[in-house]
Amino acid sequence: MNTDCIFCKIAKKKIDAQVVYEDEDILAFKDIKPQAPVHYLFIPKKHIETLNDIRREDADMLAKILLAVREVADKEGVAQGGYRVVINCNRDAGQEVFHVHVHLLGGRGFSWPPG
């Protein structure tokens, strides 16, 4: 665990978050600066800084994150209408917290390109 990483602290329950999903490998919680009516972050409990740092042994965990995204999108009622899944990698892409995380955004229309 990176002792300065806010997401590691959330995963270890040292910082409160509004958790919407949890299993042994991943945690999902409400984003504190939501960009849509539904905006959750899905993180591996294992510290991985960026998508560039993912290894083959992380493949099952990443698949579990996407399955959890689908489950939460369905539970929140945005699966049928549509939702967006975003992973930012490094500063130029908008990554602010250097712990891999997947954004689930829904509950409103989105345009393309995103930004």
pLDDT tens series, the chain, 115 aa: 456 899 999 999 999 999 999 999 999 999 999 999 999 999 999 999 999 999 999 999 999 999 999 999 999 999 999 999 999 999 999 999 999 999 999 999 999 988 6
Give pLDDT, residue 115.
Answer: 65
Concerning whether 101 is annotated as a catalytic residue, the answer is yes
Full-model pTM: 0.95
Would you say 49 and 6 are in contact if contact means Cβ atoms under 8 Å apart?
Answer: no
- Determine which one of 39, 99, 101, 103 is catalytic: 101
Q: Is 108 left (phi over 0), alpha (psi -120 to 50) or beta?
A: beta
Going from the C-alpha of 37 to that of each of 3, 34, 95, 105, the distances in angstroms are 31, 7, 20, 8
Give pLDDT, residue 114.
Answer: 80
